Amino acid sequence: MAKKHRITIILECTTCARRGVKKGLRGMSRYITTKNRRNTPKRLELRKFCPYCFKYTIHVEITKTR
């Protein structure tokens, strides 16, 4: 059985999360991507565009899904 090193992760905007944005009103910027578990064992951080903040912000990995 082959080991699977690529996993699906969710990235969430840190600026929206700090402000405590209610998900029903405006929403929170989230991106779905994959990462290689072997090359990147720590949490992934990427600069992505947040449509709710209208600027590029840091998005951090929040959960891992299969």
For residue 43, being part of any structural domain is answered with: yes
Per residue in 32-60, pLDDT tens?
Answer: 999 998 999 999 999 999 988 889 999 99
Whole-number percent of the chain with pLDDT over 90:
42
8 A C-beta contact, residue 60 and residue 36: no
| pLDDT for residue 24 is more than 90 | no
Which has the higher per-residue pLDDT, 22 or 55? 55
In a domain, 10, yes or no: yes
Question: Listing from the earlier edge strand, what are the strands of the sheet with 6-13?
Answer: 30-36, 6-13, 55-65, 45-50
Q: Is 47 within the bounds of a domain?
A: yes
**57 within domain boundaries:** yes
Q: Can you give the residue range of the structural domain that contains 56?
A: 6-62
For residue 45, CA distances in Å to 1, 12, 40 come to 31, 9, 11
**Is 1 part of any domain?**
no
Residue 5: per-residue pLDDT: 86
Q: How many domains does the chain have?
A: 1
pTM listed for this prediction: 0.76
**pLDDT higher than 70, residue 21:** no
